[in-house]
Structure 1
Amino acid sequence: MKNVFFIQKLLFFFMMMLSILFSASSNSFLGIWMGLEMNLSAIIPIFLMNQNGKTEKSVLIFFLIQSISSIFMFLSFFMSMALFNLMKMLYTIMFLSIFLKMGMFPFYFWVPKVMEGLSWMNCFLLSTVQKIIPLLLIFTLNMNKLIIFLSVFNMIICSMNGINQFSLRKIMTFSSLNHLSIMILTIFFSKKLLKLYFVVYSIMTFMAMFFFKKKNMNYIFQSFFFNMSKISIFLLLVLMLSMSGTPPFIGFFPKMMIVLKALEMNLFISVNMILLSNVMTTFFYLRICFSSLFLKSSFMKTTNFYKKDEEGIFILLTLISPFILMF
């Protein structure tokens, strides 16, 4: 039974990857839209395979939001072919439907509710793989000012919302939306930088969510933080510093290159907003580490507890990845 379950999941994952390749190789909006719908039909069964008490509600919300955004996107595309006088308004509707599909401002309200009911690996798929095709769609839209304005606003709103959260899934949700805003801004600077930033972000997100899954962590303050060894706490600190873009970790280099490229294009307001949001996200990243670090230090004074960990490979990858990136 387990083998059948694994094969089914593998087939749906292969279908999801195939839909991304189909959209990336398509030279028309209709082809990209078809790949987007194939992607949706593949990701929902993957979400339902690892169920908990909130999964069905989360998947239902996700399906309804994706369906509504797909309908508006499809209608605006075909109406723009007939109503040339309303082309600008229809393009705006198409653009907003893409933002609804990604969960960007002003439609970010559904993403934390969906993430809260998914497993950590499904949260990783929703935060990374599901963003590829919408980013391809943004390439085709010529609405630079509106995209930059909403992306910058989304960056600030998500950074502020993440500060007062205690659920790790919600913190990672607002972190994902903040990184997504930076990736959308990067579209106008350099496609190579966008690819680099997306790969680095995906690596960091996978390592963080895999760590949370292994340690069964769901909230900042939990009793089983005491069962974490010093190696685990060090790994968590390195991961959070990397995601916040602190030098010399891997997350710093692509963010630094984006800031320098934006300064070359005289986008000073966007640079200031990126730096401001980075300060706020760094606060709630370090909040995750300091709670476990201080509790662990006080606990270790009275207990000779030690638990052997098997995450040494992740520590090694996190430490050497900046040097690999520089080369």
Structure 2
Amino acid sequence: MYFTYNSSKMFFFYMLIFSTLIAISSNSWFGCWIGLEINLLSFIPLISNSNNLLSNEASLKYFLTQSIASINFLFSILLKMIFLKNFDMNFFMSLMINSSMLMKMGSSPFHFWFPNIVEGLSWFNNFILMTWQKITPMIILSYFLNKNFIILIISMNVIIGALGGLNQTSLRKLMAFSSINNLGWMLTSIMISENLWIFFLIVYSFMISIMCWLFNMMNLFYIKQLFINNINPIMKINMLINFLSLGGLPPFIGFFPKWIIINFLINNQSYLLTMIMILTSLIILFFYIKIIYSSIMFNYLKMKWFKVFIKNNKFSFINLFSFFSIFSMIISTFFFY
């Protein structure tokens, strides 16, 4: 386990969880800001590692971008307090608060820091950054949502997330662009309803946790490492199942929340947005399938001294999650109808 012999990391991890709870349960803008600041200051010690220069660089970049977003957020809530009675300022205020929250999440057009920071982090820290760190900004964003602006941001997210991942060789950067694409879907779900957003976040966190666990277990960071012949074929099939689920292909669980979102968008006659989101999902699926096809079909490294050891209990867990990934979609369709 990540924190087994490190009490300080465990302390910061609990602080990270409590800071999110402080921010989302606060009844004032300043309470939200304080929660965000505690969240930032508890995540930086988790990602910085004295033995790794990349992680130190990533923690510094993360601190700078989050500080800029926090300053912007604080400035906008102060302005809101000053011009509280002036309704003409509401549009400007909503733009500023939305922009600062989008910057905190790593959403486009403020996404440039996100892939660079992901590249310097371990898989566990990546999992936290892609899932837990999105909760607080998303909740604060839902308080003061500017619908037209968010629709534009959703379109940018799904397009940049799909096109940015096409020429990547690093698995971490690929997962970062996949996260940007899924953030577009997540923003759509929070515009529809908070319950749908919670459901989408749970399903997405489940899929990302499996992928990060798999990559961490096999110590994989680049696509070329998947070509090694000694990786167990069952593990490759598990990777195939979970990649397709993450891409949103039926009958896997990843398709279910996307299906609900598409259904809602079509009922509300948002045909252009639906078309953009479906087409970009196809591009995402294309580069997922490209990785899986390469790892299954190409085996050009066979070194007897290089073996991937996986403990039996972990292996059975991965099999269980893959089974759940396939069959939960089929079961959930009965509840949907």
Partner AA of 1:251 in structure 2: G
Give distance in 1, aligned partners of 2:50 and 2:124.
9
More displaced 10-residue stretch of structure 1: 177-186 or 224-233:
224-233
1:260-290 CA distances to partner (integer Å, 9 max, x unpaired)? Answer: 1111222112211110110011011112211
Whether 2:264 is the aligned partner of 1:279: answer no
Q: Supply the RMSD in Å over aligned alpha carbons.
A: 2.3
Tell me the equivalent position of 1:154.
Answer: 157
CA distance 1:149–1:165, shift in 2 (3 Å): same
Please give the secondary structure, in 2, of the residue aligned with 1:226: coil
Q: CA deviation at 1:308?
A: 6.9
Tell me the equivalent position of 2:207.
Answer: 204
CA distance 1:192–1:86, shift in 2 (3 Å): closer
Give distance in 1, aligned partners of 2:9 and 2:162.
34
Q: How does 1:246-261 map to 2 (within 5 A)?
A: 246-261=249-264
Whether 2:16 is the aligned partner of 1:16: answer yes
Please give the secondary structure, in 1, of the residue aligned with 2:298: helix
Give distance in 1, aligned partners of 2:107 and 2:98.
11
Whether 2:296 is the aligned partner of 1:315: answer no
Please give the secondary structure, in 1, of the residue aligned with 2:141: helix
More displaced 10-residue stretch of structure 1: 35-44 or 90-99:
90-99
Q: CA deviation at 1:224?
A: 6.4
Tell me the equivalent position of 2:33.
Answer: 33
Give distance in 1, aligned partners of 2:201 and 2:277.
16
Q: How does 1:133-144 map to 2 (within 5 A)?
A: 133-144=136-147
Partner AA of 1:285 in structure 2: Y
Give distance in 2, aligned partners of 1:249 and 1:315.
14
Aligned length: 323
Partner AA of 1:103 in structure 2: G
Give distance in 2, aligned partners of 1:213 and 1:182.
26
CA distance 1:263–1:223, shift in 2 (3 Å): closer
Which residue of 96, 101, 115 maps to 2:99?
A: 96
Gaps of 5+ in 2: none
Tell me the equivalent position of 1:175.
Answer: 178
Give distance in 2, aligned partners of 1:105 and 1:58.
19
Give distance in 1, aligned partners of 2:308 and 2:219.
15
More displaced 10-residue stretch of structure 1: 88-97 or 268-277:
88-97
More displaced 10-residue stretch of structure 1: 184-193 or 308-317:
308-317
Partner AA of 2:236 in structure 1: I
Please give the secondary structure, in 2, of the residue aligned with 1:227: coil
Please give the secondary structure, in 1, of the residue aligned with 2:229: helix
Whether 2:265 is the aligned partner of 1:269: answer no
1:106-149 CA distances to partner (integer Å, 9 max, x unpaired)? Answer: 11111011011011110111101100000011111131011111
Please give the secondary structure, in 2, of the residue aligned with 1:196: helix
The share of aligned pairs that are identical, in percent, is 35
Give distance in 2, aligned partners of 1:112 and 1:196.
25
Q: CA deviation at 1:86?
A: 3.5
Partner AA of 2:270 in structure 1: L
Gaps of 5+ in 1: none
Contact 2:241 2:325 in 1 (8 A): no
Contact 2:229 2:301 in 1 (8 A): yes
Whether 2:63 is the aligned partner of 1:53: answer no
1:223-245 CA distances to partner (integer Å, 9 max, x unpaired)? Answer: 76222011111111111111011
Give distance in 1, aligned partners of 2:281 and 2:322.
20
Contact 2:227 2:301 in 1 (8 A): no
